[in-house]
């Protein structure tokens, strides 16, 4: 019998209450008036993009220092603002920009280093650090209590798209301490605690699947595909959308370089990867698709401490081994139930992707556009397999492989 693991979640910036969401609601404004130019542009961002004047406005800005960011919430907000500026600058109507000016790249590189994150619009920027509640102390698990701080389009569709993920993160947060308890119970050979935790895990996965299904309520597939999704695209594997070399981050001092990054993707959710890791789901490389290498790469797009947490859980995960070796059939049955619910969640995700990306791609390209973007470039594909996600990987092969490998984790 082994002692408890004694993992301190706070050391990994994981909240025992909110999971990978911050303990405090994200700031709605930077406190120092020094950053007024940033705040003015983000406030007008949808209008600036609609009038094709975002790039001009950014080019007129000063290159601001990060020295006046005084707290972690302020650093998170700075990362959010510069993420939105970067993707807005690249994908403003008229064709992609292959250059990011010093007004964005210089502070963004500094802020990104602070979190060990890349200089692109990650899941953390778009979802984890981009929400508020109404009222302030409202339950984060209910989408109706949430609002996004910022969007590219100003549309309810885009806001709803982000908030579904926020609600999933909040709802799934309770699974983290629950499964830490289960791993301790394995070490103590307490099968009843392990069984109970796996049953509660299954219930939680089922519930977040129901939240994901609500995407249809206020996010229109055509609006998402043609208007919102182009702004989420990264600069990696985006030759088809006009960025064969990625993007040139101009620092104005001879240190500038070309960079290629994935865009925002749900594969960057530490919570979703936690589900796999704690259950021992193994993703492998197969011909034409490598789910494991892609998921490992996506950890580079998570806040550094969150990625460290996942690596730690990989080192100590013991639930699957226990379920395989125990003579208590209730543990094995509860484990298989958890795997089945996670597989069903991935089926729901494939259905959402089919409705929001695969089906719209087979219809006509947008009738009004003045330049190349991901929606235009991906219209009328020869095969659904050719479609890439904003993260840069082939959509259906990746998602189906992840679903099938989850199913195959079941213990006979």
Binding site for heme b: residue ranges? 349
SS3 sequence of the chain: CCCCCCCCHHHHCCECCCECCCCCCCCCCCCCHHHHHHHHHHHCHHHHHHCCCHHHHHHCCCCCCCCCCCCHHHHHHHHHHHHHHHHHHHHCCCCCCCEECHHHHHHHHHHHHHHCCCCCCCHHHHHHCCEEECCCCCCCCCHHHEEECCCCCCCHHHHHHHHHHHHHHHHHCCHHHHHHHHHHHHHCCCHHHHHHHHHHHHHHHHHHHHHHHCHHHHCCHHHHHHHHHHHHCCCCCEHHHCECCCEEECCCCCCCEEECCCCCCHHHCHHHHHHHHHHCCCCCEECCEEHHHHHHHHHHHCCHHHHHHHHHHHHHCCHHHHHHHCCCHHHHHHHHHHHHHHHHHHHHHHHHHHHHHHHHHCCCCCCCCCCCCHHHHHCCCCCHHHCECCCCCEHHHHHHHHHHHHHCCCCC
Binding site: residue ranges? 349
CB atoms within 10 A of CB 19: 25
Backbone angles phi, psi at 266, to 5 degrees: -65, -15
Q: How many residues does the chain have?
A: 412
Taking a C-beta distance cutoff of 8 angstroms, is the pair 395, 356 a contact?
A: no
Query: How many angstroms separate the CA atoms of 5 and 122, rounded?
Result: 31
Any idea of the CA torsion for 151, 267, 388, 251, to the nearest 10 degrees?
A: 60
């Amino acid at each position: 019998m082994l002692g408890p693991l004694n993992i301190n979640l706070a050391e990994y910036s994981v909240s025992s209450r909110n999971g990978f969401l911050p303990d405090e609601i994200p700031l709605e404004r930077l406190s120092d008036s020094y950053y007024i130019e940033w705040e003015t542009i983000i406030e007008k961002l949808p209008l600036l993009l609609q009038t094709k004047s975002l790039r001009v406005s950014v080019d007129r800005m000063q290159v601001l220092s990060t020295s006046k960011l005084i707290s972690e919430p302020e650093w998170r907000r700075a990362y959010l603002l510069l993420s939105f500026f970067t993707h807005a600058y690249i994908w403003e109507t008229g064709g992609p920009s292959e250059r990011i000016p010093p007004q964005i790249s210089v502070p963004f590189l500094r802020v990104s280093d602070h979190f060990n994150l890349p200089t692109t619009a990650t899941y953390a920027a778009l979802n984890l650090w981009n929400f508020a509640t109404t009222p302030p102390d409202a339950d984060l698990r209910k989408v109706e209590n949430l609002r996004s701080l910022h969007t590219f389009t100003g549309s309810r569709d885009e806001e709803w798209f982000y908030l579904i993920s926020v609600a999933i993160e909040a709802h799934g947060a309770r699974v983290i301490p629950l499964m830490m308890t289960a791993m301790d119970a394995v070490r103590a050979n307490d099968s009843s605690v392990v069984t109970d935790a796996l049953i509660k895990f299954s219930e939680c996965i089922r519930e977040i699947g129901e939240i994901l299904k609500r995407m249809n309520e206020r996010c229109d597939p055509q609006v998402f595909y043609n208007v919102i999704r182009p702004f989420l695209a990264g600069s990696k594997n985006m030759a088809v959308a006009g960025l064969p070399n990625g993007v040139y981050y101009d620092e104005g001092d001879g240190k500038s370089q070309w960079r290629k990054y994935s865009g925002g993707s749900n594969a960057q959710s530490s919570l979703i990867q936690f589900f796999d890791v704690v259950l021992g789901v193994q993703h492998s490389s197969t011909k034409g698709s490598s789910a494991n290498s892609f998921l490992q790469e996506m950890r580079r797009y998570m806040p550094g401490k969150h990625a460290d947490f996942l690596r730690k859980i990989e080192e100590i995960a013991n639930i699957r081994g226990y379920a395989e070796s125990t003579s208590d059939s209730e543990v094995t049955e509860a484990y298989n139930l958890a795997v089945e619910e996670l597989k069903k969640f991935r089926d729901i995700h494939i259905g959402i992707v089919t409705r929001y990306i695969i089906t719209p791609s087979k219809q006509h390209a947008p009738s009004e556009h003045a330049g190349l973007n991901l929606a235009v470039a991906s219209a009328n594909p020869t095969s659904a397999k050719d479609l890439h996600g904003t993260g840069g990987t082939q959509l259906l092969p990746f998602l189906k492989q992840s679903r099938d490998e989850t199913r195959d984790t079941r213990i006979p």
